Structures are given as C-alpha cells and as structure tokens.
Amino acid sequence: MIGSFRLQRRVDLDANATTDVSRRVRRVMARVLRRHHGNPSGAYADARSAAAILEEARESVAAAIGADAEEVQFTGCATEANNQVLQYLAGLPETQRGGRILSTPIEHPSIMHTLEHLGAQGTKVEMVPVDAFGRVDMSELEERLAGGASLLCCMLANNEIGTIQNVREVAAMARRHDVPVLCDCVQALGKIPVDVHALDVDYATFSAHKLHGPKGIGALYVRRGAEVGPLLHGGRQEGAMRAGTEAVHDIAGFGEACRAVPALLAQKDAMTARRDGLLAELRGIRPDLVLNSHSDDCLPNTLSVRFPGQSNTQLMASLDMRGIAVSAGSACSTSENVPSHVLTAIGLSEEEARETIRISLSHRTSHRDLRYLSRTLRDHFSGRLPTIPLVPPSRVDEAYLRSDDHYLLDVRFEVERKLARSLPGSHLASVISFARYVHAIPKDKRILVVCSTGVDATPIAYALHKRGYRNVAILLGGLVAWKLQHSELDRRLAGMPVSRIERR
C-alpha cells in the first residue's frame, strides 16, 4: 500500500538489480543473529563459533566459484571489492604495477566511475572497443595489451544486456602479455557456471544479493600469488586485507546463498526457454522490436529490448502502475538520468538508449508473471492504459514556474529535500501519505508531479489520474535533470517560497 491506493500485483522483472532473500538464507541469518553474537576476532568460545561460521561460509563461496577458501575475502559489497583491486593497483609506483589500466567500456559503474576517479588522479585509463553486442574486440585487445598495462578489467556477464564475454580467451591473451585481469562476476554467479581457476583470472568479484542472498555483502577472489592490499585500514580481519568487524550474519547468508548455486544452475535451460518465449510474445506485440542482447552469448535471464518511438520512462511508468518492475539500465545509474553507457558503447544513439528497457527474470519468475507482462504491454501499446504526459525539464522555465495555472507537487522524501532544494513555488507532500493530502490538491490546475528522478512521481501521478485529476504530468528525469539544465535559474529563484501541504 502507498497511501490509500493498492497496486494490483507485484511482478519483479528486475532481478539483475537485486533478488529477494531466499527462505533458507533468511533462516540461517536469523539463527546466526539469535545465537552467534560473538566477535570472530575474540579468544573465547562465542568468538570461535562466530569465526567457524565465517570459515564455513568462505568454503561455500569458494566451492561455488571454483576457488580455494584462502583465496576468498569478504567485503562490504562487490563495489568495494572492485574498488579494492583498482585502487591498489593504480596506487603502485609505475615501475611496479601502477600506471595504465585497460577496461571494456561496458563495465559496471563500480568500475567505470572508479576508473574515472583514478583517471582524474593521473592513472592512464584506456577502453578496449566492443562489438554491437558488447563482446571485446580481440585484435584491438591484443594491440593494447602489447603496450603493457597494470590491469585489464573485463566482466564475465554484463548487467544491462547480459553479454557473456569469452573471459577464458581474454585472460589467456592477457597472461601472455603479463597483464593481470579483474573479472566482475557479479551477474554470472548462479546464472551460468563460474570457475575462477578455469577462467585463469587474477581477481574476481561477487555480490550475495544477486543470488537470493542479503544486500551489503560481497566477496573478492584473489588468485594465489596475485598482489592486492587493503582498501580499509584498521584491524587485521580477513587476513589483514579488510579491516572492520565482520558482518557474521551477512557472510553466513552469502554462504547459504552459494550452497544453492547448483540448484540455480540446474534451472538454466528452463529459464532460457521462459525468456525466449517472452521474446517471441513481445515480437508478436511489437514486430519492430529490436533486441540489443546477443541471442546466444547472453545470460539466460536477461532481455535488453528497444521499442522504437517509445520512451522507456513512459513505458516503465505504465508498467509500474500495473505493479511490474523493469529497468532502463543499471540500477546504480538510473538516478543519474543519463543514457546508459553500455548501450551507447554498443552503438546505440542516445535516443535509442532512451527507448530501451531491461527485463531480467529471477529463478522465481513464473509463466504467469510473464503472461501478465505481455498482457500489460499489449494494453499499453494499444492505448488501453492511461498515459501520463512527461514534461521535459526544458519546458519548465521561469514562465512555467511563475504561472498560476501550474501546481508543482514535490513528493520527495525529507532526506532527498536535504540534498536538493525544491523547485520554487512547489507544494511539498510525501510519497507515502497520499490519502492524507490529496484533498488539498486543486482540480482546476495543471499539476506537475516532481521527485528526484521521475520514478517516485509515477505512482502519485497515476493515483491522481484515478481520482479524476485529468491534467497531471510528471517532470521527466525529475529534479536531477531539471537542475542540470537550469542551474542559473535555480540559483536566481532560490529564495522563492515553497509550501507544505497540510495533512488531514
């Protein structure tokens, strides 16, 4: 429930963003929280039992990824694991391993943004081109490796388009040139077999929440003999590689999630069939649909599709109102309102990128869920669903803001308001208490619902539409996009009052 309106049904087709925590994982975590509160670094019985839980989990993660337990280090998340490797190697003197880092241009933001940061500090960063499906150009790679590098970043499976790289071949080539490889395996684990020894990479990173484990726990594989140092300094936890008292319950949850990997992999063919069936359905609805993903070298659960002429924001809003979650790109970059770097790297224009949605199935996605998605898309494309207009930020200029016809409804959370000032003249309301303020919203005005990115505004706009408000629109890209275009106006009108809507 949000306020007084109930979403019909929830169908989560955004499994590459995250997955729900499985019952077995929850049970294990609850047991650890209840019974094992000891600090694993201590020298008494409770500490030893907590330490034993860590080591059991380490063995389970190692078994799932084809590593030895001593090669696995727990981290706060995969983002941290990627940072640890990148920052360590970039920090070495050039004569050792510092200096030039090579990467594919379709890596996750936890690599791309870290490389940007390191680039600004003087590390040379070079992107190796990819083809129209995101696969590394091997002859270009050979050429760049020949120039020497301190590291090559090449993910095993892409989070947005599902592309599976031939990492074994990439790593063999890198090995011939004595360049270590960091392989982000976050999306691969549980969906396709992962064997880090067979891949022969030096570093690999993982995250529990992509395979029905808890959020906020990751793992870093470091090949025996490969160099790495700590990112966090302090205590000597994790072999002095990651200071900070271990989150024993999260680590136990990660271990349990990894125990289910063989069962998850056993569903690979069934999942591929379900996804391909969905694609056939979608082609029936929109024969002009364009598939961005490769038909074979792709994760079994991922579909990146483009509907020409259809704004993905609008489509996601329509699906969201029917309780269906899909995404436009990686969850980590949705809030930035920029076209996906992955889609532009494989050759899509910005406009084409904004027509793309990612549908990612989880192991729990049923045929019924997919039928519901197809039915909803059919309704959307045949005009049977109401569409709420999206107002581009460029239209919301000074005249728009000063007009008495417009009513700006800012539905951001309090914490978001602290981060960015509201548009001048806004009426502030909360996204979660709709029923208590809706009475105060005038029916005779043109209402523009505003949030940080355009996502939270959607359910409110549809709820108003349901209550008979016919003149409702959403600020496309939210305040983030508006402030990018109107920084001068934002500064100039900063003092204009905003008002808080009285709740009943």
Kindly list the catalytic residues.
332
Which residues sit opposite 192 in a β-bridge?
Answer: 189
**From the list 22, 60, 73, 79, which residue makes contact with ligand PLP (rule: CB under 6 A)?**
79
Residue 310: CA atoms inside 13 Å, Cβ hemisphere, count? 23
Both tokens of residue 310?
């259809």
Residue 317 CA to residue 357 CA, distance in Å, equals 12
- 81, 228 in Cβ contact below 8 A? no
Site string for ligand PLP, 284-323 (x = CB under 6 A): ----------------------------------------
Least distance CB 336 / ligand PLP (angstroms) = 14
**From the list 207, 304, 333, 365, which residue makes contact with ligand PLP (rule: CB under 6 A)?**
207
Query: DSSP string spanning 439-478?
Result: GGS-TTSEEEEE-SSSSTHHHHHHHHHHTT--SEEEETTH
How many residues lie near ligand PLP (CB under 6 A)?
15
- 213, 219 in Cβ contact below 8 A? no
Site string for ligand PLP, 395-434 (x = CB under 6 A): ----------------------------------------
**From the list 19, 83, 110, 123, which residue makes contact with ligand PLP (rule: CB under 6 A)?**
110
**From the list 77, 251, 315, 423, which residue makes contact with ligand PLP (rule: CB under 6 A)?**
77
- 46, 38 in Cβ contact below 8 A? yes
Give the neighbor-by-neighbor strand order of the sheet with 181-184: 72-75, 218-222, 203-207, 181-184, 151-153, 100-103, 124-127
Strand, helix or coil at 415?
helix
Residue 349 CA to residue 343 CA, distance in Å, equals 8
**From the list 86, 145, 181, 186, which residue makes contact with ligand PLP (rule: CB under 6 A)?**
186
Least distance CB 500 / ligand PLP (angstroms) = 35
Binding span for ligand PLP by CB under 6 A among 235-243, 330-338, 446-454, 488-496: 330-338
Binding span for ligand PLP by CB under 6 A among 52-60, 72-80, 400-408, 474-482: 72-80
Residue 469 CA to residue 243 CA, distance in Å, equals 55
Binding span for ligand PLP by CB under 6 A among 47-55, 275-283, 329-337, 372-380: 329-337
Is the alpha carbon torsion for 163, 167, 169, 171 positive or negative?
A: positive
Least distance CB 218 / ligand PLP (angstroms) = 5
- 11, 326 in Cβ contact below 8 A? no
Of 113 and 446, which CB lies nearer to ligand PLP in the complex structure?
A: 113
Of 331 and 420, which CB lies nearer to ligand PLP in the complex structure?
A: 331
Both tokens of residue 281?
């359905």
- 205, 186 in Cβ contact below 8 A? yes
Residue 225 CA to residue 202 CA, distance in Å, equals 9
Of 102 and 441, which CB lies nearer to ligand PLP in the complex structure?
A: 102
**From the list 40, 134, 218, 425, which residue makes contact with ligand PLP (rule: CB under 6 A)?**
218
Least distance CB 308 / ligand PLP (angstroms) = 27
Residues constituting the chain: 504
Of 241 and 460, which CB lies nearer to ligand PLP in the complex structure?
A: 241
**From the list 159, 302, 318, 422, which residue makes contact with ligand PLP (rule: CB under 6 A)?**
159
**Other C-beta atoms within 10 Å of 262: how many?**
12
- 479, 451 in Cβ contact below 8 A? yes
Binding span for ligand PLP by CB under 6 A among 1-9, 49-57, 182-190, 223-231: 182-190
- Residue 238 is a binding residue for ligand PLP (CB under 6 A): no
Least distance CB 340 / ligand PLP (angstroms) = 13
Radius of gyration, CA atoms only, the chain: 24
Q: Which residues bind ligand PLP (CB under 6 A)?
A: 77-79, 108, 110, 155, 159, 184, 186-187, 207, 218, 330-332
